[in-house]
Amino acid sequence: MKTKIPLTRLWVHEARHQEAATNAIGRVLNAGKFVLGSEVEAFEREFSAFLGLSSGVGVGSGTDAITLGLMAGGIQTGDEVLVPAFAPSATASAIIATGATPVLVDITPDFGLDLAQARALLTARTRAVVVVHLFGGVDDMTPILGVAKAHNLWVVEDCAHAHGVRYWEKETQKWRMAGTMGDVGAFSFYPTKNLGGIGDGGFCCSMAAPVLERLRRLRQYGWRERDNSTQVGRNSRLDEIQAAILRCALKDLDHRNDQRRALARAYLEAFSSAKIAVPMLLPSLQTHCHHVFHQFVVRVAAREQLRRVLDDHGVEYGIHYPRALSQQSAFKAYTGGRPFPVAERTAAEVLSLPMHPYLSEHEIHYIVSALSDLHA
Ligand SMILES: Cc1ncc(COP(=O)(O)O)c(C=O)c1O
């Protein structure tokens, strides 16, 4: 059946944004500086301000943002880095690119790092943890930061799904933006993200000026100034066209995030009055988190049945992620032979329903009523 409802729709596809996007590209063409020019500088300032920070560093991708974020903490070959076993392969690959060894940790049923297991896996070589804020939520950072502080771990927050998510910090009674709690926040601007460009892009933020300085060097050959490398770096720079486009997208990121939250509420309301024959776990509106619903992820043991019904009704869906890291041959070496029951069960059960700011309540009702066709 022809797709009636797509999984996602990008802001740049909206007619009213296309003129601004085209003008942004034109501006770069006219300026003629294509790498690390005024658009990247302006975007770094503007996105940092959005996060409540004074500065940040545009890089080539979200994967690179994690790698560079770890390198900025001196993470290297021989070090161990804790990472949840239910995460995209990008996160594990980013750790391996530093030369360090990822140590897979099972997750909690709400996609968080299983901190008890993480503690048990600490060794003299454990130097860092990558916390992955999945689907528009945020992991419970206070206890994670407590363990990190006690064991001197470098904390990188993988914020590829977390542009604008806020975490309620009970101790200070303050909301804190995802990406600003660990040592480095690592963002992706892949087109489908809540803040997405028209190609690859990424960003590292930090509260610490020396860390930002290191990140700036690391993204460009380790140069302190041109042709003077004071450390071994990479080539991973956000390009001017992406930065110019992202400046347009950033303007109404808050509004688009609000739309996603409102649509998530509409889903939950529609589900509350629907009769669905198979047990289904819906996303919870966690109290510690001001969610931005990058994805609307349901969990269901009868996933194949759900897929068939959605296919029959022309509703596109995603599976994020069909395999835990422990189930992929590239990462088997990092399991230490341990089982990952929660991560692997999660991979077998998750399904992402359509979620984007331009979805209508009518479409949500269509999707939820389609699911009422499921049979026990
Ligand atoms: C949670 C998470 N981390 C990291 C990445 C990697 O980002 P990028 O594709 O920009 O390299 C992704 C990409 O989809 C992601 O979803």
**Interval 49-71: pLDDT, tens:** 999 999 999 999 999 999 999 99
Ligand 1 center–CA 188 separation, angstroms = 6
pLDDT for 376: 67
Q: Determine the pLDDT at residue 373.
A: 76
Question: What pLDDT is recorded for position 201?
Answer: 98
Residues of the chain within CATH 3.40.640.10 domain(s) are: 11-251
Peptide bond before residue 321 is cis, with ω within 30 degrees of 0: yes
- Say whether pTM exceeds 0.85: yes
Q: Tell me, what's the pLDDT at 1?
A: 62
Phi, psi at 259, each rounded to 5°: -60, -45
CATH fold of 253-371? Aspartate Aminotransferase, domain 1 (3.90.1150)
How far is Cα 301 from Cα 348, in angstroms, rounded to an integer? Answer: 7
Instruction: Give the model's pLDDT for residue 338.
Output: 97
Task: Give pLDDT < 70 ranges for the chain.
Answer: 1-2, 376
pLDDT at 277: 86
The one-character DSSP state at 85 is S
DSSP code at position 52? T
What are the tokens at 323?
């395999």
Q: pLDDT at position 3, please?
A: 73
CA max distance for the chain:
67
**Helices 89-96 and 62-71 meet at what angle, rounded to 10?**
40
d(CA 18, CA 219): 30
Which residues does a 6 A CB cutoff place in the pocket of ligand 1?
61-63, 88, 90-91, 132, 158, 160-161, 188, 190, 200, 202
222-262, pLDDT tens digit by residue? 999 999 999 999 999 999 999 999 999 999 999 999 999 99
CA of 90 to the centre of ligand 1 (A): 6
320 CA closest ligand 1 atom index: 16
Positions of CATH 3.90.1150.10 in the chain:
253-371
CA of 91 to the centre of ligand 1 (A): 7
Which residues, 6+ apart, have CB-to-CB distance to 217 below 8 Å?
Answer: 223, 224, 229, 230, 231, 233
Is the CATH number 3.40.50.300 carried by domain 11-251?
Answer: no
* CA-proximal residue: ligand 1, atom 15 (nearest): 160
Residue-level pLDDT at 5: 96
Across the chain, mean pLDDT equals 96
Ligand 1 binding pocket mutation candidate from 187, 188, 195 (most atoms within 8 A of CB): 188
- Per-residue confidence (pLDDT) for residue 358, from 0 to 100: 96
